[in-house]
Amino acid sequence: MTTPKLVIDNVGKVFSTKSGKVTALDQTSFTVQEGEFVTILGPSGCGKSTILRVVAGLEEPTTGHVYLDGKEIHGPGPDRGMVFQSYTLYPWLTVKQNITFGLDLKGVPKKQQDEIAQHYLELIGLSGFDKHYPIQLSGGMKQRVAIARALANEPEILLMDEPFGALDAQTRAIMQEILLKVWEESKKTILFITHDVEESIFLGDSIYVMTARPGRLKKNIKVPLPRPRDYQNKSSEEFLALKLELLELIREESLKAVKP
């Protein structure tokens, strides 16, 4: 077995608030392999975003360490690309300028920026929209641009925090297929957070199920579905069996969250 791409080692997070200490995340350890698509599934408020923010370097963990390619993470950096749940495109930049935001910071020559932008615009199916402003795009299109913006920066790992959470069911299903296509093409390592059982199975090689707050890893499940996948996999027997198992696990935890 090769050394893992990402190592989460005993990471825990306690927030101090006016009304006392809140344990958002119990000590958690897991690894992500190079090129792997890992999904984290958990009920609302269990600390999913906290894990991702710690990996992104936006939040210091209270305990533990995060290692990317064997090097410890101490702050944010362009080696980790983040796609947020809320829309975070820059409204004053066009679609293309949004995609090249990180490249511009790195000082990549304009001509090369144009080529990279063109490549990712095609990949997300939005070529011809390069001069549009975010206000002119639908929610799904915005998130696709956000994915392109993160990928264009060529991060070592893509961190996605419920990027399709705000979309309707149909759009979300299509976005999942687009994301899989993009992933197969770019061979990126992806850590993807969701509270949607189907989404976690359809996208992931491996699913980590979390407990209700304070979040802990409850179970790791390898997804037995073949690759490449398309929407028809969602009605296969393995898929449905796994869905049932996960729904049961999540239901237990969600109930705990409602009446502790």
Partner 1 sequence: MPDKQRQVITNRVAFLETKIPSYAAVLGITVLLVLWEIVCRLGIVPPLFLPAPTAILTAGWDMLVSGELYEDLAASLVRIGGGYAVGASLGIIFGLILGFSRWTDAILTPIVYSIYPIPKIALLPLIILWLGIGETPKLAIIALGVFFPVVINTFSGVKNVDPMLIKAAVTFGSNHFNVIRKVILPASLPMIFAGLKLAAGTSLLLLVSAEMIAAQQGIGSMVLHYGNLMITTKLMVGVLVLSLLGLTFNRVLQWLERKLVPWK
Ligand X SMILES: Nc1ncnc2c1ncn2[C@@H]1O[C@H](COP(=O)(O)OP(=O)(O)OP(=O)(O)O)[C@@H](O)[C@H]1O
Minimum distance, C-beta of residue 193 to Mg ion, in the bound complex (Å): 7
Q: Are 24 and 214 in contact (CB under 8 A)?
A: yes
Residues in Cβ contact with 12 at an 8 Å cutoff, skipping those fewer than 6 apart: 23, 25, 26, 27, 28, 61, 62, 63, 64
Q: Which of 8, 12, 28, 47 binds ligand X (CB under 6 A)?
A: 47
Query: Cα–Cα distance between 229 and 213 in angstroms, integer?
Result: 33
Q: Is residue 49 a contact point for Mg ion (CB under 5 A)?
A: yes
Q: Is residue 195 a contact point for ligand X (CB under 6 A)?
A: yes
Nearer Cβ to partner 1, position 149 or 229? 149
Using CB under 6 A, which of the segments 45-53, 89-97, 128-136, 171-179 binds ligand X?
45-53
What residues pair up with 19 in beta bridges, in sequence order? none
Minimum distance, C-beta of residue 85 to ligand X, in the bound complex (Å): 7
Helix axes 110-123 and 139-152, enclosed angle (nearest 10): 130
Using CB under 8 A, which of the segments 3-11, 78-86, 172-180, 250-258 binds partner 1?
78-86
Minimum distance, C-beta of residue 85 to partner 1, in the bound complex (Å): 9
Q: Which of 34, 65, 133, 254 binds partner 1 (CB under 8 A)?
A: 133
**CA 114 to mean position of chain CA atoms:** 26
Q: Is residue 220 a contact point for ligand X (CB under 6 A)?
A: no
Q: Which of 44, 72, 105, 122 binds partner 1 (CB under 8 A)?
A: 105
Helix (H) or strand (E) holding 218: strand 217-222
Amino acid identity at 25: L
Query: Cα–Cα distance between 145 and 128 in angstroms, integer?
Result: 13
Query: Cα–Cα distance between 155 and 237 in angstroms, integer?
Result: 36
Q: Is residue 3 a contact point for ligand X (CB under 6 A)?
A: no
Q: Which of 49, 98, 113, 206 binds ligand X (CB under 6 A)?
A: 49
Nearer Cβ to ligand X, position 102 or 204? 204
Nearer Cβ to ligand X, position 45 or 139? 45
Minimum distance, C-beta of residue 44 to ligand X, in the bound complex (Å): 4
Helices then strands, counting H and E runs in the chain, come out as 8, 10
Q: Is residue 14 a contact point for ligand X (CB under 6 A)?
A: no
Query: Buried (b) or exposed (e) across 245-259, using 16+ Cβ within 10 A?
Result: ebeebbeebbeebee
Q: Is residue 159 a contact point for ligand X (CB under 6 A)?
A: no
What is the number of residues in the chain? 260
Q: Is residue 54 a contact point for ligand X (CB under 6 A)?
A: no
Burial of 169 (0-12, 13-18, 19+ CB in 10 A): exposed
Interface ranges with ligand X (CB under 6 A): 15, 17, 22, 24, 42, 44-50, 195, 213
Interface ranges with Mg ion (CB under 5 A): 49
Interface ranges with partner 1 (CB under 8 A): 56-58, 76-78, 80-82, 84, 86, 88, 90-93, 101-102, 105-106, 133-135, 153
